[in-house]
Amino acid sequence: MTNEAAARRVHIIQGEYKVISDPDVVLSTILGSCVAACLRDPVAGVGGMNHFLLPGSANPGMGGGDATRYGVHLMELLINGLLKKGAKRERIEAKVFGGAKTIATFSNVGEQNAAFAMQFLRDEGIKVVGSSTGGEHGRKLEFWPVSGRARQYPLTGAETQKTVAQEQRPAPVQKPVESSIEFF
């Protein structure tokens, strides 16, 4: 097993995913009502993590910046990223984290996120080998994508509120790229 002190940390923020085949990398994220799916193929030695804010998918016509907030988009990107790096769908295993109910007066989007992730993985035929979802506090998550090891730390009330504030910020809208190509 890798030396934890020597591990290179890669932080995943809301709307991102990463696929890694380096055994010296640990992926980390902070979750409130968001969910992170951690997937890996133990034979191919590749794994990854995503971090999404909302279950389901964006409305048609929404820009790419908005789509990254949704589970269906990030789940597909993560699975396809694994397959491109040599993973086989039938060997992929998953661990799901997050989905806390961080604000008592809001609807339980965290529970919806967790339920969405579990159903999506079932529909894709991906075995869930571990999960830790729900609760009232956020969590810090670490995932070693090659070994499949995962570790979480509960956040304090203040840390959870900071995470909630970050989750409630609007996603940055991506501006169209200027093009100097002329079509006739």
Query: In this structure, what DSSP letter does residue 2 have?
Result: -
What residue type is 27 in one-letter code? L
| Catalytic status, residue 38 | no
CA distances from 170 to 54, 65, 80, 102 (A): 12, 10, 27, 18
Structural contact between residues 97 and 70, judged by C-beta atoms closer than 8 angstroms: no
Angle (CA) 47-51-56 rounded to 5° is: 110
The catalytically annotated residue of 19, 31, 34, 75 is 34
Angle (CA) 68-22-117 rounded to 5° is: 35
Query: In this structure, what DSSP letter does residue 24 have?
Result: T
CA distances from 40 to 50, 86, 110, 139 (A): 12, 11, 23, 21
What residues are labeled active site?
Answer: 34
